[in-house]
């Protein structure tokens, strides 16, 4: 029972208490750059979750044989190899998905969330908990991206997932899907999340 509770906690902390985007504020470069449409947000979120899962699993498996002095280069080798392998496999077996995710997959290498989870969690915890952590962090990241991109796509383009939501007379505020919109949306959302958690 304790194991199950532990797993549950490792999973859910990624969604709110330690949400990578809103609370830990990591991996902002991809969050800002690709959150222009909900499809992009979901794609990036899922691709990052996939890599997180692979890297947490491997890092946790070899945690007892990796000398701590060289652990960071080892993590980076694992992450970048895993991203490249994932990229090749996705392109070979699901070319349509690869076309949609194309530029995001290589971008995942520089996403600090992956390295942060390897260092802060997977290198100290058993495999099972590391998987729960990866899934929770991935879900939290995906959720954050969907919220940011939902706001930006709705106001900046008048659509959600490409479907018009405000009718034909809505004049989109293009700023929201340009770079300033990314900073405005993210800043206001982090403020909102902080406000809510203070109140609690």
Partner 1 sequence: MREFLKLTGILTLIAALFAGAVSYTYTLTKPIIDANRYKKRVEAIAAVLPPFNNQPEKEKKVVPTSKGEKVEFYVGKKDGKVTGVAFQNSIKGYSGDISMMIGVTPDGKVYGVDILNQKETPGLGAKVAQKTFTQQFQGKGLEESRWDVKKMKGDFDQVTAATISSRSVIEGVKERLLLYQKHADQILKD
Which spans of this chain sit near partner 1 (rule: CB under 8 A)? 34, 36-37, 40, 66-67, 69-70, 73-74, 77-78, 81, 84-85, 88-89, 91-93, 95, 103, 153, 156-157, 174, 177-178
**Residue closer to partner 1 (CB basis): 24 or 51:** 51
CA nearest to 26, candidates 9, 42, 14, 8: 14
**Residue closer to partner 1 (CB basis): 93 or 195:** 93
Phi, psi of 64 (to 5 degrees): -85, -15
Tokens of 33: 């750059």
Provide the minimum distance between the beta carbon of 160 and partner 1 in the complex, in angstroms, as a whole number.
12
**Residue closer to partner 1 (CB basis): 36 or 111:** 36
CA nearest to 172, candidates 157, 151, 182, 159: 157
Provide the minimum distance between the beta carbon of 6 and partner 1 in the complex, in angstroms, as a whole number.
29
**Residue closer to partner 1 (CB basis): 154 or 193:** 154
Helix, strand counts (H, E) of the chain: 9, 2
**Residue closer to partner 1 (CB basis): 88 or 196:** 88
Tokens of 147: 């919220």
CA nearest to 84, candidates 100, 106, 64: 106
> Looking up tokens 């939902």, which residue turns up?
150
Provide the minimum distance between the beta carbon of 200 and partner 1 in the complex, in angstroms, as a whole number.
35
> Looking up tokens 């890599």, which residue turns up?
51
Q: Could you tell me if 56 and 133 are in contact, meaning their C-beta atoms sit under 8 angstroms apart? A: yes
Provide the minimum distance between the beta carbon of 157 and partner 1 in the complex, in angstroms, as a whole number.
5
Provide the minimum distance between the beta carbon of 81 and partner 1 in the complex, in angstroms, as a whole number.
4
């Amino acid at each position: 029972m304790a194991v199950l509770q532990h797993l549950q906690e490792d999973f859910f902390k990624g969604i709110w208490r330690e949400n990578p985007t809103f609370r830990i504020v990591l991996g902002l470069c991809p969050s800002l750059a690709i959150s222009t449409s909900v499809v992009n947000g979901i794609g990036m979120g899922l691709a990052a979750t996939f890599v997180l899962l692979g890297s947490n699993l491997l890092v946790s498996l070899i945690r007892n044989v990796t000398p701590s002095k060289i652990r960071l280069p080892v993590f980076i080798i694992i992450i970048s190899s895993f991203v490249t392998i994932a990229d090749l496999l996705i392109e070979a077996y699901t070319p349509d998905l690869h076309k949609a995710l194309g530029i995001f997959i290589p971008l995942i290498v520089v996403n600090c969330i992956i390295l942060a989870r390897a260092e802060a969690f997977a290198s100290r915890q058993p495999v099972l908990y590391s998987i729960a952590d990866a899934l929770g962090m991935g879900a939290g990241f995906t959720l954050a991206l969907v919220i940011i991109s939902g706001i930006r796509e709705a106001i900046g383009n008048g659509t959600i997932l490409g479907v018009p939501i405000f009718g034909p007379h809505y004049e989109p505020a293009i700023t929201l899907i340009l770079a300033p919109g990314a900073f405005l949306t993210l800043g206001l959302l982090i403020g909102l999340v902080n406000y809510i958690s203070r109140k609690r």
